[in-house]
Every structure is written in structure tokens, then in C-alpha cells.
Amino acid sequence: MVGTLLLRRGTTGPAVADLQRRLDALGHDAPGDLLGTFGPATEAAVRAFQEQRGLRVDGICGDETWSWLVDAGLRLGDRLLYQRAPLLRGDDVAELQRQLGSLGFDAGRVDGFFGPATARALEEFQRNVALPIDGVCGPDSVAALRRVIGRTGEGSTVARIREADTIRRSEPGLDGRRIAVGDAGEATGLTDAIGRALRRAGADITVLHHPDDSERADLANAVEAAVYVGVAVRDEPGIRVAYYGRDDFESVGGRRLAEMVVEALARNLDPGCEPARGMRLRILRETRMPAIAVEVGPPAVAVEHAPRLVEGVVGALKRWATEPLD
């Protein structure tokens, strides 16, 4: 199940059976659908999983939903965790990052990828509890983490505190601020217009048109953008603004910006848009800076209201650049 394979209502076969078993193991069973047949119950189970995990809810199991299904089946201690290429990923990595971060060891944001920051934080933890310093999270490291967490409890992660501190130390205003604006190819007009308006306001703008979310995230990271704004045009009606957030972690800067965009669009448009929501979309998860994703639909609305959409997003960014935190 890789690449562009999509599982949706009407699909049959072993891949659907595998999907149903994974959903059932996570508490999302599909009663009434035969094993291997993607019927209405399986679609409802996929939707429930997507809603729970902060994904785009469409009832279709594509690459992103499948990746999260695999991640969700892993718990800390199920396997050895260490840095490798490609990076290990999963809920067990996220749990390790959260626990290390809450103890003061900077494992980076809780994104479920075992990268260099997580390896360094694990080694520092091992050094502090007199374990062999090998950067491998095995049974001894897991036991030590649980023992220390049991004594001290969990607090805010270092990554959340560091993001807030970085934002506080930034020069106020848009002048010279590096901002990446991107889309998957279906919203180039909106993206370009936002980029032009921000450039006129003095920001250092990188515009990214690429169909792959991970590639866009890599490009935004490579230019060391201070903030990322993603734009998408969907068939579904409505306006939605998301930031990176999960039960155990959220981007404080991303949330603040998303809420400001929602507030601005509520003034510019009728009926405005839905409340800002923490989500785990790939573009939000893999960017290393405060990031938001703005979705507008249907296409006719995006075209008709483009000037007001641009005005709202740019106005919110101007405000955020001077009031980035609560």
C-alpha cells in the first residue's frame, strides 16, 4: 500500500482486509461490511479514525491516512528506536519525544520522527541516568523514562517552550521576515497574490508550488522560513484554517496565527470560516516553524472572494508579526 493507491467505498481485496484489521485494533470496527469489502461501515470507521487523528476527513484511505494507521499501532517499548535513514516514525517515537521533552531534554517538536534532535536528547537522558550512551531506546531506557516520569510527572515539552522563546526574540513586524507561502498546484493564483502582498509589506517571501506536501515542507525548512502559510482549494464548501496540534503537543505560534486568520476572515467574509483547529496534516507536521493551512471551497468561492481572502490572510500575518503570542 504505497504510492497513489486509494482505498474507498467499493474497493475490495486483501488491502481492504488489512485496513479493516488495523482499524478494528484501534477501536474503529466496521460491523456489517464483509472482510475485504470497503462498504459504508468501513468508510465510517475511516472517517472516525481521521477525525480522531486530526486528518482531513473524507472517508478515503490514501497515503497519509495509511501512514497514520501504521504509526498508531506502535507503543513505546514495542521495538528498538534509534536514528536511521529513512527515519523511524510512529506513535512510539512521539511518546518518547514527549517524555524526553517534559523532562527537559530537547527532542524537538512531538512529530513522531526519530531524527537528530531526538537522538541527542535520548543520549543526554542516558548520560543523566547512567545508562550506556548509545542513542538506542530499548527496554532499559524505557524503564528509566517511566521510573523518572513516575517521580516527577510530565510538564510542558522543551520544544513548545523553545518555540515560544524564539518567537518572543524575533523582531516585530513583517519587514525582512522570511515567510514561505505554498500550495499543491490547485491554488497558485491565491498563493501568488498572498506572496505579492506580503512582499509589498516588506517580508522576504518564498513561494512554493509543489504537489507533494513533504517536498514543500522540506523546501520551507531549507530556506529557514520563520512561518509557513499553506493554501488549498477544495470542492467541499467552507473555509478552514489549521495549525499543527495533537493531544500532547501544539505549535503555540501556529495556533495564534490560525486564530488570527479566522478572526480576520470572519470580518472579511460572510459566513466567514470554521474555528481554527489543531491537525496533523503532513505539511503542518513536517515543517519546523509555525505553520498554518488555509482551505477554501468550492473553487468558485475561492475565485469570487480571492481579494478578501488575500486581505484577510495578509492582515492576520501583519498582526501576528507584532502580537505572535497570547
Tens of pLDDT, residues 247-256: 878 999 999 9
Cα torsion through 90, 95, 98, 99, rounded to 10: -150
pLDDT, tens digit (0-9, with 9 covering 90-100), for 221-277: 999 999 999 999 999 899 999 999 988 789 999 999 999 999 999 888 866 688 999
CA–CA separation, 218 and 113 (whole Å): 14
- Statement: 91-164 belongs to CATH 1.10.101.10: yes
CA distances from 105 to 56, 125, 229, 251 (A): 32, 7, 29, 18
Architecture of domain 14-72: Orthogonal Bundle (1.10)
What confidence score (pLDDT) does residue 136 get? 98
Q: What are phi and psi of 278, to 5 degrees?
A: -75, 125
CB contact at 8 A, 293 and 283:
yes
CB contact at 8 A, 321 and 95:
no
CB contact at 8 A, 268 and 312:
yes
What confidence score (pLDDT) does residue 150 get? 80
Identity of residue 228:
Y
What confidence score (pLDDT) does residue 159 get? 80
What confidence score (pLDDT) does residue 72 get? 92
Radius of gyration of the chain (CA): 21
Grouping H, G, I as helix, E, B as strand and the rest as coil, residue 137 is strand
User: Which residues, other chains included, contact 191 with Cβ-Cβ below 8 Å and sequence gap of 6+?
Assistant: 181, 182, 183, 207, 209, 231
* Helix orientation angle between 306-322 and 188-200, rounded to the nearest 10 degrees: 40
Q: In the chain, which residues fall in CATH 1.10.101.10?
A: 14-72, 91-164
Q: Tens place of pLDDT for every residue, the chain, 326 residues?
A: 445 679 999 999 999 999 999 999 999 999 989 999 999 999 999 999 999 999 999 999 999 899 999 999 899 999 999 999 999 999 999 999 999 999 999 998 999 999 999 999 999 999 999 999 999 999 999 999 999 988 765 556 788 888 888 888 888 999 999 999 999 999 999 999 999 999 999 999 999 999 999 999 999 999 999 999 999 999 989 999 999 998 878 999 999 999 999 999 988 886 668 899 999 999 999 999 999 999 999 999 899 999 999 999 999 999 999 998 87
Architecture of domain 171-321: 3-Layer(aba) Sandwich (3.40)
CA 153 remoteness from chain centre: 26
Q: In the chain, which residues fall in CATH 3.40.630.40?
A: 171-321
CB contact at 8 A, 189 and 245:
no
- DSSP string across 45-102: HHHHHHHHHT---SS-B-HHHHHHHHHHT--TTSS-B---SSPPBSHHHHHHHHHHHH
CB contact at 8 A, 30 and 44:
yes
Q: How many C-beta neighbours within 10 Å does residue 235 have? A: 7
